[in-house]
Structure 1
Amino acid sequence: MPQNPYLAIERGEPGRIGWRIHYFDEIDSTQEAARELAASGADQGTLVIAEQQTAGRGRMGRTWHSPSGVNLYTTIILRPPIPLADVPRMSLVAGVAAAEALER
């Protein structure tokens, strides 16, 4: 794994988004890496960031084209106390929050 350029922004305690950041120059899928980290006990708020994904997936298992130098690919480990049926809404809420933050 290459040197993590995001170490300087790791902050806070477990539970806070970005408290721990795992960086990859290239990875098969940030979701798969986050799933493995979560299964091994990684705390909520842990981020997985990649410059490129070789097997990224979008909603409903769709292929996600993830070339290097175009976007930032990230997955956040969350453990929300909500019903499983409501979990898919989190992607929409996160997208709106990110757009509003960038707009400001």
Structure 2
Amino acid sequence: MKLLADENFHRAIVRGLLRHMPQLDLVRVQDVGLRGADDPTVLAWAAGEGRLILTHDAETLIADAYVRVRSALPMPGVIEVSQTAPIGVVIEDLILLIQGSLPNEWEHQVLSVPLR
């Protein structure tokens, strides 16, 4: 599974995921030259790269993701992560999702973490 962490995604979660899964294909928006890009641009880039997006943006990015779905545009999926959930719980749930998912399983879907 290929992931893209949104620009304001918590760095401790990214570090925790990579510590537990060093081979994980995870990049951040700022790593790929999209710092400051609007949500439609980030979604289009993620779709072109087949990357599931990790975000804390429960409003605008998700609304734009649904616009892509309604417009029949590619949308590899979005995982909206609560900013108030304990980081350890979030990392555990993300690992569970990553390890238990098939390629393209979350296409056109928005998931929420924590799972509990």
TM-score range, shorter chain: 0.3 to 0.5
TM-score of the pair, normalised by structure 1: 0.34
TM-score of the pair, normalised by structure 2: 0.32
Q: Could you say which structure has the higher helix fraction?
A: 2
Larger radius of gyration: 1
